[in-house]
Amino acid sequence: MRFQCLVMDHDDTTVNSTATIHFPSFLAYLEQVRPGLHYTLDDYFRKNFDPGVMALFTGELGFSEEELEGEFLFWQDWVRTRVPKAYPGIREILQRHRDAGGKIAVVSHSMRENIERDYRENGLPEPDLIFGWEQPPERRKPEAWPLQQIMKTFSLPPEELLMVDDLKPGYDMARRCGVPFAAAGWANDIPEIEQFMRRNCDFYCKTVADLDRLLEE
């Protein structure tokens, strides 16, 4: 087994959720608090990539504390009744890793309860550890804490983990810990994101099949 522990991002890495759930939720809430503003899906991907969704909310959009709380509640209500589908091939990758004795961890900006539901509804093997948005800000990616906890829990050195993520916060977290990073490129076709990931990451996987091949090497 090349890596003892797969550390999976969730949205747009394991499940197809931004285009189908999170972006429509964002547009619906934006219409309430900033009517007339328009963002495309690619705009939203770019903002999530860098500087991140909270920087978009507090900086560019200037959300107040009340609007931030409103957005969180609106988003949670939206997500509660909508289950994203896992990308074809992900279940097989995770199940094979589990069957071989490997560990599966999730580090995501989604809530733990939604991650658990999505794994269950998509027939994915239950993760050994999950670190989601319910953590305080200093324990969310790009901070190093989730990976440090994973390494401590499983007594693994950095090189025996593989972080798989489509966005820069995951990349930054992995770099802080010396953990190998595989960019998940299958959620979008935005040239500047692909260029950054190809230039900076240990591995670039344009498709789920590319990740499968990487793990089988």
Q: Read off the pLDDT of residues 166-188 as tens digits, 9 standing for 90 and up.
A: 999 999 999 999 999 999 999 99
- pTM, rounded to two decimals: 0.95
- Region 181-200: mean pLDDT is 97
Is it true that the peptide bond before 142 is cis, omega within 30 degrees of 0? yes
Whether the predicted pLDDT of 25 surpasses 90: yes
| Whole-angstrom distance, CA of residue 137 vs CA of residue 122 | 28
CB of 190 closer than 8 Å to CB of 160? no
Given CA atoms 48, 187, 33, 75 in this order, what sign does their dihedral have?
negative
User: Could you report the per-residue pLDDT of 135-162, keeping only the tens digit for each?
Assistant: 999 999 999 999 999 999 999 999 999 9
How large is the angle between the packed helices 23-33 and 65-80, nearest 10 degrees? Answer: 140
Q: Percent of the chain having pLDDT more than 70?
A: 100
Q: Percent of the chain having pLDDT more than 90?
A: 98
- Helix (H) or strand (E) holding 131, with range, is strand 129-131
| Arithmetic mean of pLDDT over the chain | 97
- Region 190-202: mean pLDDT is 97
- Helix (H) or strand (E) holding 6, with range, is strand 5-8
Of 57, 12, 51, nearest to 33 (Cα)? 57
Q: What is the pLDDT of residue 52?
A: 87
